[in-house]
Amino acid sequence: MARACSTAVPHNQSAPRETFVGWVDESPGRGTLHLIVTCLFTIFLCTWVVIHPRVCKRPLLRILHKVALFSKTLIAPEFIAVEGLQEWSQARRTVKDCANITENGLKLVHAFYIGMLALRYRTSHGDKVIWPNQYTWLLKERLIDWNDHARWGLSEENINDKSNADGTAKLIALVQVSWFAAQSIMRLVHGLPLSQLESMTLSYVPLFAITYLFWWVKPKDVLTPSIIDLPDMSEEQQATFESMAVSSAFDAEATKEQTTLWSIWYLTPRVFEKEAEDIAREEAHQKILREDEKGPVQRIERAGNISARISSHPAKETVVAHWDPNIYHSKLLWPMTCIFGASFGALHLISWDTRFPTAAEAWLWRGAALASIISLLIFMQFEKVVLRWFGPLTIISLVSPFIYLVSRAVMIGGVIAAFRASDPAIYDTYVVSTYWIHIV
């Protein structure tokens, strides 16, 4: 049983409630600088600390890639949560696919390590990524033995040694985020408003928590990959293995595609995307085979043209978003994903009744928060979004993320503008005079 007696103590009692205040100096209560530093520090912990980037061999690319992830997470924190969810889903699938062949020896930590491009094989020009589906295939074809996984750098001891996860940083993040959330709740309980910056900061917390949950066992900030030699294979096996590669953009063979700084913005492709591409190719090939109503010469000529078009299609298709089918079609995961996706915009609505200098600013804030929720939920209903015309729904699928980004820009601008004229009540504080905890 907990009992608390508290009183709200206005920090600026002399200020009439009809007025607004700008910068407020530090005092025994709250000041503007303290409020800003606390919020920005909490946002930093919810973004930079939670990021678990893929493995990049080049130090410059490694740093820039993490900065790029940080920037994306600041603007659209749902992005990093979705990344965590889809990586977790892929890792679970890898564990499941390898369960029998490894006698349940391959764990989530191994699957995450492989999925973050940390396992590679030597080539005459450098090294290439071994993707999760390729590693699973090598095991199933008995070309490698799970008992030799330590020699491939896949022992848990080696992975944990390479991981730079800092327990102290995680503890600081957990304590700070929990304390900030508790303080925000206490202010609301005492009838004190939150500033717009506090509402925005609080909105990062659920996504921070769910992302950390998905990445709890994922190695963090691995600097160097495990590079091995492939086992001997026949030409047919080698061709099959190489055809399973999800992408060549992350190999290290000094090609232009692999050395460009633009690669820091690339999303790490998933195995399900490769499988969807292979299915599309096979369906197109079967369609060609069915078109046999014309003469042999015409049919061969047309088949060659279509095959050439199919081969060039993936390079031209720009994928904006693509959901893992195991998540998108899940009756449990998908509704939860939508709820957490909407939580960021929804928590901004805590400041619905916060006093704004003008009615226009108040409704701009409210409208932007509602727009971010609705546009994101609409965008999430499309399993795959590409920059190609598929009918009127294409406009909705592409306009909705644009509306979301505009709403985010409006809310960020509202947070900054709010400090020129804020409700004095956001600087009021509460004092807990007695607080006793009894465990019955």
CA dist., res. 303 & res. 315, Å (int): 20
- The β-bridge partners of 321 are 385
Helices (H), 190-324: 196-214, 235-243, 256-259, 271-290, 296-316
For the ranges 283-292, 331-340, 394-403, which has the lowest average pLDDT? 283-292
| pLDDT score of 432 | 58
Q: Does position 48 have pLDDT exceeding 60, yes or no?
A: yes
Count of C-beta atoms within a 10 Å radius of residue 98: 23
Q: Does position 47 have pLDDT exceeding 80, yes or no?
A: yes
For the ranges 10-14, 263-267, 353-357, which has the lowest average pLDDT? 10-14
The pTM is what?
0.85
- Order of strands, sheet of 226-228, starting from the edge strand that comes earlier in the sequence: 126-129, 119-123, 226-228
Count of residues in the chain? 440
For the ranges 4-13, 106-115, 247-256, 347-356, which has the lowest average pLDDT? 4-13
Residue 309 C-alpha from the chain's centroid = 33
| pLDDT score of 305 | 54
| pLDDT score of 4 | 38
For the segment 255-298, what is each residue's pLDDT rounded down to a tens digit?
888 888 888 888 888 999 998 888 878 877 777 777 655 555 45
For the segment 18-29, what is each residue's pLDDT rounded down to a tens digit?
588 888 888 777
What number is the average pLDDT over the span 199-208? 93
- Check if the beta carbon of residue 340 is closer than 8 Å to that of residue 408: no
Amino acid symbol at 15: A
Nearest to 44 by CA among 67, 65, 74: 74
Q: Residue written as tokens 């999760």?
A: 132
What number is the average pLDDT over the span 367-377? 95
| pLDDT score of 49 | 85
Nearest to 78 by CA among 306, 315, 376: 376
